[in-house]
Amino acid sequence: MTTNFLTKEGFNKLQDELDHLRTKKRQEVADRLHEAMEGGELIENAEYEAAKNEQAFVEGRIQELEILLATAQIIEENGKHKKGDGVQVGSKVTIKEGNFEAETFTIVGAAEANPREGKI
């Protein structure tokens, strides 16, 4: 299996999502399915179909997160690099181009990349 590089913050965020899906969301979807099944005919029951689709999504996401977290390698965020040192996962990098304002990014693994949050 492929190693997934995550910051401690990213690992905790994904673990929280997994816990939420397992404990709350899974039960909410099961309740919706039960209610839809009590509605009678399942063949043309839009609520039942929507609940089944949501259940498939939730179960797929749970499986995805379980694999991601099981293969995770926690990286330390380390901004203590000297100019000229190589950039690695966990590094903070500041980019200044022309007259534009400098931007700082944290180099992270693909699973938690989010340019809007400064994580690439």
pTM value is 0.78
CB 51 within 8 A of CB 36: yes
pLDDT of residue 106: 87
Distance separating the N- and C-terminal Cα atoms of the chain: 22
92 contact partners, CB below 8 Å, separation of at least 6: 77, 78, 79, 104, 105, 106, 107
User: 60-97: per-residue pLDDT in tens?
Assistant: 999 999 999 999 999 876 555 556 667 888 888 888 89
At 3 the three-state DSSP class reads coil
And the tokens for 101?
């304002």
- Domains of the chain, residue spans: 4-74
User: 14-62: per-residue pLDDT in tens?
Assistant: 999 999 999 999 999 999 998 888 876 666 778 888 899 999 999 999 9
Taken in order 7, 10, 14, 15, the sign of the CA dihedral is positive
Other CB atoms within 10 Å distance of the CB of residue 54: 15
The CATH number that domain 4-74 falls under is: 1.10.287.180
Whole-angstrom distance, CA of residue 111 vs CA of residue 119: 10
CB 111 within 8 A of CB 68: yes
